[in-house]
A and B are shown apart, each in its own frame.
Chain A
Amino acid sequence: MTRPRTALTCCVLALVATGCGIRPTGVTAGGTAPSGISKDMRIYFASDSGLRGVSRPGKKVRDFNAAYRLLLDGPTREEQFNGLANLVAPEKWLRVTSHDGSVTISIPHSTADAPQDQSTGQLVCTFARAEVLLHGTRPDKVQVTIVIGGERAGPYQCQQFLSH
């Protein structure tokens, strides 16, 4: 009677060795990490599907004027091909100041019409991003106010202009 018992033990051992079901494992490697997050300046352009930001890697932004210049440079050829356009008209006297995360865009003499929705978004989001990079403010703490002539608009948050 010992032989069957031994055989049975073998069977059980084989089953145990195989292990039923799916067992937990330790941590294993699964290939390269995803990438694509940007820490550089991002400027925003208008498109048919709403406001879209594009990054400008390698461009150092030392002040708000640099960001404004990047915006006025407009989309690259490739970005134009993708349907991006700059709706912001150049304003010679545009001044941007910030205090504790509150950004104020002052346009003393407006030569153009009041900013349209997307162009306002372009200004708000681009300067908000510049504020984050210049002063390290948390993105959701940045508030942008636009003063045209003596008329204040805002404060806005970039989030309001993003379609999704």
Chain B
Amino acid sequence: MSSTEESTEESAEGTTAKSAPPLAAKAGLRARIRLPRLDGLRGRLIITVVVVALISSVTATALAYRESRDAVLKRAQNAAVEDFRNRVDSLAADLDVPTDPRSMARFATDVSSGLRGALVVAQYRDYTASSDPSADRSRITAELRATVRTRTQVSLQRVEHGGKPWLALGAPVLLDSAGRDRSSGQPSGVEIFAVVSLADEERDTAELVRSVQRGLLPVVLLAAVLALLAARTVLRPVRKLARATRRLATGELSIRVEERGRDELAELAHTFNETAGALEDSVSELRAQEALARRFVADVSHELRTPLAAMTIVSSVLEEDADQLTPDTAHAARTVSAETAKLTRLVDDLIEISRFDARAVALTVHSVDMAEAVRATLAARGWTDRVEADLPPGIRARLDRRRLDVIVANLVGNALRHGAPPVTVTVRAADDRLTVTVADHGPGMTPEVARHVFDRFYKADSARSRSEGSGLGMAIALENARLHGGTIELAPPAPGVGAVFTLQMPLRTESAS
């Protein structure tokens, strides 16, 4: 019960006292969402879609490119081989072996003129004739020459020379075998080579790549736009849900989100709504129970007040007449009187704290001279001699004088009861803040005590169960400080100093609260 009470108190307090930090956090979050972040869901979606688009288009292009390039090359090579063979076939009839360099040169030039002016090299025994003697013959590789020497067929090889692709063709020219099977023809000893440029084919395939490059950017942009649209359909409900969750966390339990569609996000929204509903139900149930409990305390306190008033009168009359009673009876009368006074204080404190719980308290703000007010508090309880007061004159504050009295009295009373003298009270004002420090020189508080010092009915010394205080003093002091928009804090333990409580509140409190 106590733990749930604590949690509800915390959440209720979050709406008022902690309203500033969540606002700042919300603003920061919004700024972060606005920025194009690449590690968010949106960024991941865009990257994924763009990468998928890139991969698919590049892969498709690569495959198409390879196919078309191979087809273009194959056609070009076949055509070149066909031209070469036909040309050599038709011209070989005019060539006899043994032959001479001049005939060979003529033969090479004739072949070349039928092959778009390609370089043609004819070789017979130890001499070579070229259609273009100045041309570089390194395009005809030793590998090709070796193959042509050993195999009676047309051989071809693609080479790169001067950054351009070339097709080198080579074949031994067979002897005329009229009527006989062609494949059985004998080599004549003449070998012929031709080097055909593939620059046209390269340009055609390069054009394909260029057109793909031009198309790639629009594809990527389109993919990014589609990804953005897709991300929006996903992100909008998610963002709504996130906003609702944040508001739920700040205590707005009635918040619900729209459930649209039948997808997983709608399911999530439905679950969220169910959770929020369940939470709202249990919280309202708890609040009702708590309110009931508090009202019970308040009612009991009120009901006790009337009989207590009567008892106080009777016990004070008895105490006045104690001298005329027998010692035993007098002691009893004094005890009854003291306990009745304590009970009255307890009931008063209970009524006070239930007013806080019911939020039925209002500040009555006056302009107060702090030195005079604190001095009056100490004087009223007869503590002037036991407390060292450091009260600079001229500090004026706007606050509820009665509640200041309650706070100071509770802090000083606590120090006198539990700490060791000398107890000091210090009043300071700076930057529109009023600071009242109450310090003693006792052993200080253990961390366990420090944690619970403002709890209701918390007894620092469990062995001394019957202390003079009601156990509500510090809680009431804290509630009063909060009512002024201030706090009471316990300074962390330091050597040579006892417990130090610091009341901090605005120098000027608004009367409306």
Once A25-B157, A140-B101, A164-B106 are accepted as A-B contacts, the answer to whether A34 and B89 lie under 8 Å apart by CB is yes
Once A21-B206, A42-B96, A139-B99 are accepted as A-B contacts, the answer to whether A33 and B153 lie under 8 Å apart by CB is yes
Q: Is the CB of A22 within 8 A of B96?
A: no
Q: Is the CB of B100 within 8 A of A138?
A: yes
Chain A residue, CB-CB nearest to B77: A30
CA distance A21 to B99 in the complex (A): 41
Once A24-B160, A32-B85 are accepted as A-B contacts, the answer to whether A159 and B102 lie under 8 Å apart by CB is yes
> Measured between C-beta atoms, what is the minimum distance from A129 to chain B in Å?
7
Chain A residue, CB-CB nearest to B168: A27
Instruction: Say yes or no: is A11 at the interface (Cβ < 8 Å to chain B).
Output: yes
Chain B residue, CB-CB nearest to A157: B102
Q: Is the CB of B62 within 8 A of A15?
A: yes
| Interface positions of A from 19 to 48, Cβ below 8 Å from B | 19-40, 42
Chain A residue, CB-CB nearest to B157: A27
> Measured between C-beta atoms, what is the minimum distance from A157 to chain B in Å?
9
Chain B residue, CB-CB nearest to A140: B100
The stretch among B53-61, B244-252, B368-376 that forms the contact with chain A is B53-61
CA distance A121 to B446 in the complex (A): 136
- Residues of B within 8 Å of A, CB-based: how many? 71
Chain A residue, CB-CB nearest to B48: A3
Interface of chain A, helix or strand or loop or mixed? mixed
Instruction: Say yes or no: is B69 at the interface (Cβ < 8 Å to chain A).
Output: yes
> Measured between C-beta atoms, what is the minimum distance from A67 to chain B in Å?
14
Instruction: Say yes or no: is B188 at the interface (Cβ < 8 Å to chain A).
Output: yes
Q: Is the CB of A38 within 8 A of B96?
A: yes
Q: Is the CB of A34 within 8 A of B157?
A: no
| Interface positions of B from 144 to 158, Cβ below 8 Å from A | 144, 147, 151-158
B209 contacts which chain A residues (CB < 8 A)?
Answer: 20
Instruction: Say yes or no: is B95 at the interface (Cβ < 8 Å to chain A).
Output: yes
Q: Is the CB of B154 within 8 A of A32?
A: yes
* Cβ contacts B293-330/A at 8 Å (1 or 0 each): 00000000000000000000000000000000000000
* Cβ contacts B81-102/A at 8 Å (1 or 0 each): 1001100111111111111111
Q: What are some 20 contacts across the A-B interface (CB < 8 A)?
A: A4-B51, A23-B160, A29-B156, A30-B154, A30-B171, A32-B153, A32-B182, A32-B183, A33-B173, A34-B171, A36-B88, A36-B176, A37-B96, A37-B97, A37-B188, A38-B93, A38-B97, A53-B96, A57-B178, A140-B102
A21 contacts which chain B residues (CB < 8 A)?
Answer: 165, 202, 205-206
Most chain A Cβ neighbours within 10 Å, of B85, B169, B201: B85
CA distance A28 to B51 in the complex (A): 39
Q: Is the CB of B144 within 8 A of A27?
A: yes
Once A37-B190, A42-B96 are accepted as A-B contacts, the answer to whether A27 and B155 lie under 8 Å apart by CB is yes
Instruction: Say yes or no: is B336 at the interface (Cβ < 8 Å to chain A).
Output: no
Instruction: Say yes or no: is A136 at the interface (Cβ < 8 Å to chain B).
Output: yes
Most chain B Cβ neighbours within 10 Å, of A36, A42, A138: A36
Q: A39-B96, A159-B102 are in contact. List 10 more A-B contacts (CB 8 A).
A: A3-B48, A11-B58, A18-B62, A30-B154, A33-B85, A36-B89, A36-B92, A37-B97, A53-B96, A138-B98
CA distance A49 to B438 in the complex (A): 136
- Residues of A within 8 Å of B, CB-based: how many? 45
> Measured between C-beta atoms, what is the minimum distance from A1 to chain B in Å?
8
Partner of A37, one of B52, B144, B173: B173
Chain A residue, CB-CB nearest to B163: A21
Most chain A Cβ neighbours within 10 Å, of B65, B96, B172, B175: B96
Q: Is the CB of A31 within 8 A of B153?
A: yes
Instruction: Say yes or no: is B143 at the interface (Cβ < 8 Å to chain A).
Output: yes
Instruction: Say yes or no: is B47 at the interface (Cβ < 8 Å to chain A).
Output: yes
Q: Is the CB of A4 within 8 A of B173?
A: no
Instruction: Say yes or no: is A10 at the interface (Cβ < 8 Å to chain B).
Output: yes
CA distance A138 to B98 in the complex (A): 7
Q: Is the CB of A39 within 8 A of B188?
A: yes
> Measured between C-beta atoms, what is the minimum distance from A106 to chain B in Å?
26
Chain A residue, CB-CB nearest to B107: A37
Chain A residue, CB-CB nearest to B160: A24
| Interface positions of B from 115 to 163, Cβ below 8 Å from A | 141, 143-144, 147, 151-160
CA distance A3 to B49 in the complex (A): 12
A140 contacts which chain B residues (CB < 8 A)?
Answer: 100-103
- Nearest first, the 4 A-B pairs at minimum CB distance are A36-B92, A35-B174, A140-B100, A34-B88
Instruction: Say yes or no: is A55 at the interface (Cβ < 8 Å to chain B).
Output: yes
Q: Is the CB of A39 within 8 A of B97?
A: yes
Instruction: Say yes or no: is B343 at the interface (Cβ < 8 Å to chain A).
Output: no
